[in-house]
Amino acid sequence: MTLLTVNGVERSFYGVRALAGVDLEVPAGRITGLIGPNGAGKTTLFNCITGVIPPDKGRIVFDGRDITGLRPDQITQTGLVRTFQIARGLPRLSVLENLLLYGTRQPGEKALTAAFNPGAARQREEELIARAVAVARRLNLMHVIRNPASDLSGGQKKLLEIGRALMTEPKLILLDEPVAGVNPTLAKEIGTHLRTLINDGITILLIEHHMDMVARLCDHVIVLAEGRHLAEGTFEDVASNEVVQLAYMGRRKVKVT
């Protein structure tokens, strides 16, 4: 079953075509890897899918619903959430608050309820706290849950990114380089966490440059180059594909005829 379909998505920045018509499908219940050389448009594609940057053209369908042009908050509420490449923990909020922020359906986010009827928010807040604690425990963040997010180490910030995404009760998580700058042991551990998410019925699309990680983790790999879908298949297929190797290593000068 296809969970996410991207159809002819284009996006330019002042004449630079970051995405030149991307088509791809993300199957449900698997880890799909999105790879490609720097500047291929991977992060821009994530931005377009999640509404952070609206696409110029094209259509994005998630779980049977056209989400093209929706705001990021609306897209998150449909069950599609993303993490950021450079971990963006909210520094002046505690780890727990960072997690709770991503919680859904909190009536206390209405100003009037918050000011005059906090009782209505309390029950939901308790549910969210229980969920946050479960997420923190799962990701080994329990011992820092009261610290400000700015005090976390690089690896913990990456874990917090994943934890926050889990708080939204997502169907699909887009992970932008979940192990970049993380030591190999923790990278392995993050990989294990991601595997368990699949068992919980969550689908993952991830951008990654660590090829051993991609090889180990991804069921399916899509290659993006110069703003286009270049190839896809299992990691072995893709790695042995000459076109992909050219895209990564640079191409021989080809005369345009």
Partner 1 sequence: MEHYLIAMAITAGLYALMALGTNIIWGMAGMVNLGVVGFVGVGAYVSALLTLKLGWPIAAGMAAGALAAASVGILVGLITVNLRGDYLAIVTLGFAESVRIVTSNEIWLANGTDGLSGIPGPWRADLGPHNFNLFYLGIVVAVVAVAFFVAERLCYSPFGRVLRAIRDDEQVASVAGKYVLAFKLKAFAIGTGALGLAGALYAHFTSYIAPDVFVPLLTLYIKLSLLAGGLGNNRGALLGAVAVVFFLESTRFIVPLIPWLTHVQGAALREILISVTLLIILRYHTKGLIPERLSHPALPAEPSPAHAIPSRTGAMT
What residues make contact with partner 1 under the rule CB under 8 A? 50, 52, 71-74, 76-77, 81-82, 84, 88, 90-94, 96-97, 100-104, 106, 108-111, 113-115, 118, 121, 125, 129-130, 133, 137, 139-146, 148, 153-156, 159, 164, 168, 182-183, 185-186, 189
- In whole angstroms, give the CA distance from residue 124 to residue 132: 12
Residue closer to partner 1 (CB basis): 153 or 245: 153
Residue closer to partner 1 (CB basis): 175 or 231: 175
- Print the SS3 string covering 172-206: EEEEECCCCCCCHHHHHHHHHHHHHHHHCCCEEEE
Give the H/E segment covering residue 33. Answer: strand 31-35
Sheet holding 16-27, edge to edge: 16-27, 2-13, 57-62, 65-66
Q: How far apart are the first and last CA of the chain?
A: 42
Which residue is listed with tokens 């450079």?
A: 86
State the minimum distance, in angstroms, from the CB of residue 170 to partner 1. Answer: 10
Residue closer to partner 1 (CB basis): 109 or 236: 109
State the minimum distance, in angstroms, from the CB of residue 40 to partner 1. Answer: 22
Cβ-contact 83, 160 below 8 angstroms: no
Tokens representing 50?
């999640």
State the minimum distance, in angstroms, from the CB of residue 237 to partner 1. Answer: 33
Residue closer to partner 1 (CB basis): 57 or 137: 137
Residue closer to partner 1 (CB basis): 61 or 121: 121
State the minimum distance, in angstroms, from the CB of residue 18 to partner 1. Answer: 18
Cβ-contact 53, 44 below 8 angstroms: yes
State the minimum distance, in angstroms, from the CB of residue 128 to partner 1. Answer: 8
Residue closer to partner 1 (CB basis): 50 or 220: 50
Tokens representing 139?
């990701």
State the minimum distance, in angstroms, from the CB of residue 145 to partner 1. Answer: 7
